[in-house]
Amino acid sequence: MYHDAVGQFDRVASLMGLDKNVADRLRVPQRSTVVSFPFRHDTYNEVETIFGYRVQHLNTMGPTKGGIRFAPDVDLGEVTALAMLMTWKCAIVGVPFGGAKGGVRIDPMQLSRAELQRVTRRYTMEIINVIGPETDIPAPDLGTNEQVMAWLMDTYSQHVGHAVPAVVTGKPPALGGSVARREATGRGLIFLIPQAANATGIDGSSLRIAIHGFGNVGMFAAVAAEQAGHKVIAVSDISGGIYNPDGIDVSSASKWIQEHRFLEGYPEADHIPGNDIFGLECDVLIPAAVQGVLNADTAKDVKAKIVIEGANNPTTIEGDEILRERGIFIVPDILANAGGVTVSYFEWVQDVQKYFWTENEVVARLREIMTRAFDDVYSVAISENVDMRTAALIKGIRRVADAKLVRGVFP
* Binding interface with ligand NAD (CB under 6 A): 140-143, 185, 213-218, 237-238, 274, 288-290, 310-312, 337, 340
Q: Which is nearer to ligand NAD, 109 or 160 (CB)?
A: 109
Instruction: Give min distance, CB of 313 to ligand NAD, in A.
Output: 7
Read off φ and ψ for residue 243, nearest 5 degrees. -140, 135
Q: Which is nearer to ligand NAD, 6 or 257 (CB)?
A: 257
Q: Which is nearer to ligand NAD, 288 or 304 (CB)?
A: 288
How many Cβ atoms sit within 10 Å of the Cβ of residue 190? Answer: 26
Instruction: Give min distance, CB of 274 to ligand NAD, in A.
Output: 5
Three-state SS at 205: coil
Instruction: Give min distance, CB of 173 to ligand NAD, in A.
Output: 15
Q: Which is nearer to ligand NAD, 56 or 216 (CB)?
A: 216
Distance between CA atoms of residues 87 and 65, nearest Å: 8
Instruction: Give min distance, CB of 84 to ligand NAD, in A.
Output: 14
Instruction: Give min distance, CB of 47 to ligand NAD, in A.
Output: 26
Q: Which is nearer to ligand NAD, 251 or 383 (CB)?
A: 251
Read off φ and ψ for residue 208, nearest 5 degrees. -95, 125
Instruction: Give min distance, CB of 309 to ligand NAD, in A.
Output: 9
DSSP-assigned states of every residue in 138-199: EEE-TT--HHHHHHHHHHHHHHHTS--GGG-SS--GGGTPPTTSTTHHHHHHHHTHHHHHHH
Residue 285 near residue 304 (C-beta atoms within 8 A): yes
Question: Choosing from 65, 101, 171, 305, which is the catalytic residue?
Answer: 101
Q: Which is nearer to ligand NAD, 288 or 401 (CB)?
A: 288
Residue 310 near residue 329 (C-beta atoms within 8 A): no
Residue 64 near residue 137 (C-beta atoms within 8 A): yes
Bond from prior residue into 108 cis (ω within 30 degrees of 0): no
Three-state SS at 129: coil
DSSP-assigned states of every residue in 212-264: E--SHHHHHHHHHHHHTT-EEEEEEETTEEEE-TT---HHHHHHHHHHHSSST
Query: Which residue, judged by CB position, is nearest to ligand NAD in the bound state?
Result: 215
Instruction: Give min distance, CB of 25 to ligand NAD, in A.
Output: 25
Any idea what the Cα angle at residue 398 is, between residues 21 and 381, rounded to 5°? 135
How many Cβ atoms sit within 10 Å of the Cβ of residue 147? Answer: 15
- Establish whether 101 is a catalytic residue: yes
Q: Residue 84, exposed/middle/buried by CB under 10 A (0-12, 13-18, 19+)?
A: buried
Q: Residue 354, exposed/middle/buried by CB under 10 A (0-12, 13-18, 19+)?
A: exposed
Q: Which is nearer to ligand NAD, 369 or 401 (CB)?
A: 369
Residues marked as catalytic: 101
